[in-house]
Structure 1
Amino acid sequence: MRRDSRLAGLAPRQLPPCLDRLRRAVRRGPPSAQLEGIPSGCARHPAGAPKALGVSGHGPRAGPAAHRDATRVTDITPELPLLGTVAIVGFPNVGKSTLINRLTGSRAAVVHETSGVTRDRKELVGEWNGRRFLLIDTGGVDIADQSPMTKSIAAQAKQAVGEADLVLFVVDARAGVTPGDEEVADILRRARKPVLLIANKIDDPAQESLALDLHRLGLGEPRPISALHGHGSGDLLDVIVDQLPGTGRVETPDDAIRVAILGRPNVGKSSLLNAILGDERVIVSDLPGTTRDAIDTVFERGDRTFVFVDTAGIRRKRRHRQGIEYYSELRAREAAERADVALVLVDTSEGLVDHDLTIADIARKAQDSTIVVLSKWDATTLGIEDIRPELERRLRQRPPHIAVSAKTGRGVERLLDAIEKLYDKHTARVPTAELNRFLAELRERRQPPSREGRSLNLLYGAQVSARPPRFRFSVNDPTLVTRDYGYWVENQLRDRFELEGVPVTIDFVPR
């Protein structure tokens, strides 16, 4: 059965609800700021309204983050602007994610044979001959599926089209034109935006005649490509960079605070990110695992820039896991590897469970500074005092913990303050003189371990690196350092220099 055969009997104006919403959205067009030539990503926002960089032309919806002190959120002037924004739209399983991977040279979009694998909007930078542009990949809109999840994906697709400078409409050339393709083409024509019609899955140049049938969509010359094998991708990139306006979005600053959001599926990661941004750019659903990809979102607060990575939920290991879950979990671990700070979300309605400790250990092994976020705080009768002893007993880094309600916005500002403070500790250096005074105090505070009449002697120390901090302590004999004494020194170091939640490495070396 063709994917939209149920549309065959629809009257021309009898659009399914999700396509009708898309039609009405693109008919309204982007805000006037973009029409005045303001670069995508730099559109004027209402006075006093915070914004997430990259939600171009759209002010944040009313929500918890909208009540934030507006003086702490400012615009960024792009130093290295991109050419513009390209939105990729199409039905499920026509090869959109494969195409975006081809155009960006990455594997950032989950690719799988299952229909509808791409659920969240993903933004990636493509580069061609030294010219860069932003690609937005949205979830495939199956207009025959009226589930709440499909409606949410359709809403994100319409926002992406509204923001784009250029739209790539991807069609499976081997399947031919369907009634659904014709409806989408009609909507895109009325949007009056530049559209490139992509005839995908033409894996052999001898099959290019299959693209001829797509002329009847009325969107210009179909461009035959094979996203899987790369056939035609170079010509497509030439056209993309030529048609973009030449101004666009900002690049992530080098000193941005990279934050990975980690947790079990359905623990509230996407809701937390949306509460921070004030914009529902990550799909939120009661279904576990609705976020399958790691999505970078740039956000500015005062003079600090954050890059939030909302990762796929980390599930328990199973003997046989589906391919999608495996690659999404792998991407979550990779996100932790490139983050400075990890937010480990704990569902307070369930309390601290062993799997939460496993996730915290992922952050520790990635050398992330860690904050435990007690999520869904509005849905429990527990107090912080009920959870604190367990956290301090079971988490070696003794991370700070903050109660947050994404629904009401309670605790979001405290969380952002804590992230900034923890990052400063993550990147700080302890002066050598102060560190050696600390070592002298340790010698007086506790008798060092000894063996066969020979006692350990802490001689001197220095910090050898930061982000995160690493220390080298010279001793008379490293073999005298016991596990218990090493942990004690680490804890004393945390207490003295306020390094709770920061991964600390101490190397005991011979002088």
Structure 2
Amino acid sequence: MKPIVAIVGRPNVGKSTLFNRLLGHRRAMVDDSPGVTRDRNYADISRFDKPFILIDTGGFEPVTEDRLLQQMREQSTMAMEEADVILFMMDARSGLTPADIEVAKMLRRVKKPVFYLVNKVDGDKLEHESAEFYTLGVDRFYTISAEHNRGVLDMVDDLMDTLPDVAEPSDREELTKIAVVGRPNVGKSSLVNRLLGYERVVANPTAGTTRDSVDTLFMCNKKPYLLIDTAGIRRKGKTVEKLEKYSVVDALRSIERADVVLVVLNAEDGVTEQDERIAGYVHEAGKACVFVINKWDALDKDNATFGLYVEKVRMEFKYLAYAPILFVSAKTGQRIGKIIASVDEVMEQYTRRVSTSEVNRIFTEATESHHAPLAHGRRVKFYFATQVGTRPPSFVIFTNQPESVHFSYERYLVNRFREAFGFNGTPLHLMFRGRDKKTLARQAHNPA
């Protein structure tokens, strides 16, 4: 297991800037408003001498009546409990504050290495003024500028000396990456908490509480998963706040990172236009997908409710007809256990490979039983088909008129492949290419 390094400190001291600096590129949102980062955010850092998992946390206020800040404090406390090494950040421009002193007192009771960082030291004047932080009574603190990379590498060198050596297991199973997406306030964070069995992310009745995508590594039935809880995606016209615009981009990037996407809908709202837009992002990205209809317990139901709801979802999301539909309640835990089973099923299909001989057998049967329509008065001839990739399963089909294959015939071939190879829960990608017969013959005998 890689060691865990947690960044903690008051709001707006530059924790997310340091997170991005250590990661090597921008991932956590950075803004001048205090409290931007509200949840813990994980990253796998492997660019230095020793790999480690880095946690960026929400701001830490030792004494506050504000409920959201209290939750942020709880998240920071959990991060400190998880961490092997703690990076405690303070702000040179603000000077030493009573809150810093209170946090430092707490950290003295933590039997773990603590690095005391004074951030935003951009010049000699601030370097000199930072001497007041010695009143904390610590042996050493690091004066850095995370934004300008000043002093960061010296701190990293000492961090490398502190971290234990970790041998990576060679037979570790590959992670299944699961993104949880949906409109604000459909219950994504509550669903994540229910799946994990504890309050991993801040769940708050105010829409839009989760702004960053939040990663959680967990095991289920001895299999590893990475769960990505994303910010709610609002309609374009409603992303007025700069931060909300970041959140939409971050959610879309999370979809790109994922293998399987849980599209969460609110059962009470039915299917909205924004639900369709979000699902469209998933479809365009070519990701495996599971519809999770949350708050199913809140509906007044009769014998026809379930069937009508399934029909409605299938009608509105025709392009995702392969996606399983689950009806759950994050509040009560109803059917939550079926989610991972469904993820495993679609993931197996998403990564499945079919032999070239089997692909061509089904492909030949399909094209001979139902010929493609004429194109410009000419017959569309098909020569050969082979699977060229997974995630999603992708096939190349060689033909004399690749640009003339009608979308309805492409859909017919997709359906035949689904039926024959059991691809009932994953998108399929067909590519049509033109090749001469001699080359195709060599390809058939020596498939790549």
TM-score range, shorter chain: 0.7 to 0.9
1:346 is paired with a residue whose SS is: strand
Higher relative contact order (CA 8 A, sep 6+): 1
The answer to whether structure 1 residue 416 and structure 2 residue 335 are counterparts is no
The answer to whether structure 1 residue 243 and structure 2 residue 166 are counterparts is no
Counterparts of residues 147-166 of structure 1 (less than 5 Å):
147-166=66-85
1:376, 1:404 within 8 Å by CA — same for their partners in 2?
Answer: yes
| Among candidates 247, 252, 256, match of residue 337 of structure 1 | 256
Counterparts of residues 204-283 of structure 1 (less than 5 Å):
204-246=123-165, 253=172, 255-283=174-202
Deviation at 1:140, TM superposition (A): 0.4
| Among candidates 368, 389, 394, match of residue 465 of structure 1 | 389
1:313 is paired with a residue whose SS is: coil
After superposition, the Cα gap between the structure-2 partners of 1:495 and 1:356, relative to the gap in structure 1 and judged at 3 Å, is farther
Counterpart of 2:320 in structure 1 is 397
Q: Partners of 2:238 and 2:269 in 1: how far apart?
A: 25
The answer to whether structure 1 residue 485 and structure 2 residue 404 are counterparts is no
Counterpart of 2:92 in structure 1 is 173
The answer to whether structure 1 residue 284 and structure 2 residue 213 are counterparts is no
> For structure 1, which segment, 247-256 or 127-136, has the greater mean C-alpha deviation from structure 2 after superposition?
247-256
Deviation at 1:479, TM superposition (A): 5.1
Counterpart of 1:496 in structure 2 is 420
Q: Partners of 1:245 and 1:432 in 2: how far apart?
A: 47
Give, as a single letter, the amino acid of the residue that structure 2 aligns with 1:507. M
Q: Partners of 1:134 and 1:105 in 2: how far apart?
A: 14
Q: Partners of 2:365 and 2:408 in 1: how far apart?
A: 18
Give, as a single letter, the amino acid of the residue that structure 2 aligns with 1:424. E
Give CA deviations for 1:290-320 in whole Å, capped at 9, x if unaligned. Answer: 1111222222223432111111111111286
Q: Partners of 2:9 and 2:60 in 1: how far apart?
A: 7
Deviation at 1:252, TM superposition (A): 11
Give, as a single letter, the amino acid of the residue that structure 2 aligns with 1:199. V
Counterpart of 1:61 in structure 2 is none
Counterpart of 2:307 in structure 1 is 385
TM-score normalised per structure 1: 0.78
> For structure 1, which segment, 441-450 or 380-389, has the greater mean C-alpha deviation from structure 2 after superposition?
441-450
Unaligned 5+ runs, structure 2 = 436-448
> For structure 1, which segment, 382-391 or 170-179, has the greater mean C-alpha deviation from structure 2 after superposition?
382-391
Q: Partners of 1:250 and 1:334 in 2: how far apart?
A: 29
Give, as a single letter, the amino acid of the residue that structure 1 aligns with 2:271. L
Q: Partners of 1:510 and 1:127 in 2: how far apart?
A: 43
Q: Partners of 2:403 and 2:154 in 1: how far apart?
A: 64
1:472 is paired with a residue whose SS is: strand
2:51 is paired with a residue whose SS is: strand
Q: Partners of 1:190 and 1:464 in 2: how far apart?
A: 56
Counterparts of residues 303-322 of structure 1 (less than 5 Å):
303-318=222-237, 321-322=240-241
After superposition, the Cα gap between the structure-2 partners of 1:405 and 1:463, relative to the gap in structure 1 and judged at 3 Å, is same
Give CA deviations for 1:255-279 in whole Å, capped at 9, x if unaligned. Answer: 2211111111111211122222112
Q: Partners of 1:144 and 1:302 in 2: how far apart?
A: 40
Counterparts of residues 34-183 of structure 1 (less than 5 Å):
78=1, 82=2, 84-127=3-46, 129-143=48-62, 145-183=64-102
Give CA deviations for 1:33-92 in whole Å, capped at 9, x if unaligned. Answer: xxxxxxxxxxxxxxxxxxxxxxxxxxxxxxxxxxxxxxxxxxxxx4xxx3x332222111
1:141 is paired with a residue whose SS is: coil
Give, as a single letter, the amino acid of the residue that structure 1 aligns with 2:205. D
After superposition, the Cα gap between the structure-2 partners of 1:496 and 1:226, relative to the gap in structure 1 and judged at 3 Å, is same
Unaligned 5+ runs, structure 1 = 1-77
Give the count of matched residue pairs.
Answer: 430
> For structure 1, which segment, 341-350 or 462-471, has the greater mean C-alpha deviation from structure 2 after superposition?
462-471
Deviation at 1:460, TM superposition (A): 4.0
Counterpart of 1:442 in structure 2 is 366
| Among candidates 357, 369, 382, match of residue 288 of structure 2 | 369
Deviation at 1:501, TM superposition (A): 3.7
Give CA deviations for 1:317-344 in whole Å, capped at 9, x if unaligned. Answer: 1286322122222121112112211111
2:283 is paired with a residue whose SS is: helix
Give CA deviations for 1:91-134 in whole Å, capped at 9, x if unaligned. Answer: 11111111222223232221111111010011223456412233
1:425, 1:502 within 8 Å by CA — same for their partners in 2?
Answer: yes
Give CA deviations for 1:355-413 in whole Å, capped at 9, x if unaligned. Answer: 11111111112110111111122222353312212222232131111112222222222
The answer to whether structure 1 residue 201 and structure 2 residue 94 are counterparts is no
Give, as a single letter, the amino acid of the residue that structure 1 aligns with 2:184. P
After superposition, the Cα gap between the structure-2 partners of 1:445 and 1:125, relative to the gap in structure 1 and judged at 3 Å, is closer
After superposition, the Cα gap between the structure-2 partners of 1:325 and 1:253, relative to the gap in structure 1 and judged at 3 Å, is farther
1:197, 1:220 within 8 Å by CA — same for their partners in 2?
Answer: no
Give CA deviations for 1:222-276 in whole Å, capped at 9, x if unaligned. Answer: 3211111111111111222223344599899562211111111111211122222
1:252, 1:298 within 8 Å by CA — same for their partners in 2?
Answer: no
2:173, 2:224 within 8 Å by CA — same for their partners in 1?
Answer: no
